Amino acid sequence: MSALSVVFSATMAAQTLRMTIPYASAALGGVLSERSGVVNIALEGVLLSSALASVAVHHGTGSAVAGVLAGIAGGALVSAVHATLVVRGRIDAIVSGIAINLAAAGGTRFLLRALYGSSSNSPSVAGFRLLEGSHVLVRTIFDPFLILTALAVAGAAWMLRHTRFGLRLRACGEDPSAAQAVGVHVVGMRTAAVALGGAVCGLGGTALAYDLHQFQAGMSGGRGFIALAAVIVSGWRPLVAAAACLTFAGLDALQIVLQNQTTAPSELLAVLPFVATLVALVLVANRGDAAARPPEGLGKHPS
Partner 1 sequence: MSATAQRRSAPAALAGLSAGWLAFCLLVWLYGASPSGMASLLFHGTWGTSYGIGQVLFKATPLLFTGVAVDLALRAGLFNIGAEGQLAVGSLAAAVVGSRLPQGTPAIVAAPIALAAAMAAGAAWAGVPAILKGRFGAHEVISTIMMNRIADAAVGFGLAAGLAETGVRTRDVVPGARVPRLDVLVPSFRGSAVSFALVAAIATAFLVVESYRRTRFGRELGLIGQNARAMQAEKVPVRRRIEQALVVSGAIAGAASLGTVLGYKGYFEEGLGAGAGFGGLAVALLGRGTAVGLVLAALLFGTLQQGGLALNAHVPKELMDVLSGVVICAVALGDAAQRRPAR
Say which residues have a Cβ less than 8 Å from residue 287's Cβ, sequence separation at least 6. none
- Lay out the site mask for partner 1 across 100-139 (x = CB under 8 A, - = otherwise): x-xx-xxx-xx--xx----x--------------------
By the rule CB under 8 A, 265 interacts with partner 1: yes
By the rule CB under 8 A, 32 interacts with partner 1: no
By the rule CB under 8 A, 264 interacts with partner 1: no
Directed axis angle between helix 186-212 and helix 10-35, to 10°? Answer: 160
By the rule CB under 8 A, 301 interacts with partner 1: yes
Candidates 5-13, 91-99, 133-141, 152-160 — which segment interacts with partner 1 by CB under 8 A?
91-99
According to CB under 8 A, which residues from 230 to 249 bind partner 1? 232
Q: Give the shortest CB-101-to-partner 1 separation in angstroms.
A: 8
By the rule CB under 8 A, 98 interacts with partner 1: yes
By the rule CB under 8 A, 96 interacts with partner 1: yes
Q: Give the shortest CB-267-to-partner 1 separation in angstroms.
A: 4
User: Is residue 216 helix, strand or coil?
Assistant: strand
Considering the complex, state which of residue 64 and residue 195 has its C-beta at the smaller distance from partner 1: 195
Q: Give the shortest CB-157-to-partner 1 separation in angstroms.
A: 23
Are 246 and 15 contacting, i.e. CB atoms less than 8 angstroms apart? no
Considering the complex, state which of residue 38 and residue 64 has its C-beta at the smaller distance from partner 1: 38
By the rule CB under 8 A, 270 interacts with partner 1: yes
Q: Give the shortest CB-151-to-partner 1 separation in angstroms.
A: 28
User: Is residue 133 helix, strand or coil?
Assistant: coil
Q: Is the dihedral of CA 158, 159, 164, 169 positive or negative?
A: negative
Contact pick of 77, 94, 150, 243 for partner 1 (by CB under 8 A): 94
> Cα–Cα distance between 153 and 156 in angstroms, integer?
5
Show contacts of 253-261: CB within 8 Å, 24+ apart: 253/12, 253/15, 253/16, 253/19, 254/7, 254/12, 256/15, 257/3, 257/6, 257/7, 257/12, 258/3, 261/1, 261/2, 261/3, 261/6
b/e map 251-263, b = 16+ CB within 10 Å: bbbbbbbbbeeee
According to CB under 8 A, which residues from 184 to 213 bind partner 1? none
> Cα–Cα distance between 302 and 31 in angstroms, integer?
20
> Cα–Cα distance between 6 and 234 in angstroms, integer?
29
Q: Give the shortest CB-244-to-partner 1 separation in angstroms.
A: 13
Are 107 and 215 contacting, i.e. CB atoms less than 8 angstroms apart? no
Tell me, rounded to whole angstroms, the distance of Cα 99 from its chain centroid.
18
By the rule CB under 8 A, 149 interacts with partner 1: no
Considering the complex, state which of residue 155 and residue 299 has its C-beta at the smaller distance from partner 1: 299
Are 112 and 119 contacting, i.e. CB atoms less than 8 angstroms apart? yes
Among candidate residues 149, 132, 133, the one with its CA nearest the CA of residue 17: 149
By the rule CB under 8 A, 274 interacts with partner 1: yes
Q: Give the shortest CB-159-to-partner 1 separation in angstroms.
A: 26
* Residue ranges that bind partner 1, judged by CB under 8 A: 41, 85, 89-92, 94-96, 98-100, 102-103, 105-107, 109-110, 113-114, 119, 222, 225, 228-229, 232, 265, 267-268, 270-271, 274-275, 277-278, 281-282, 285-286, 299-301
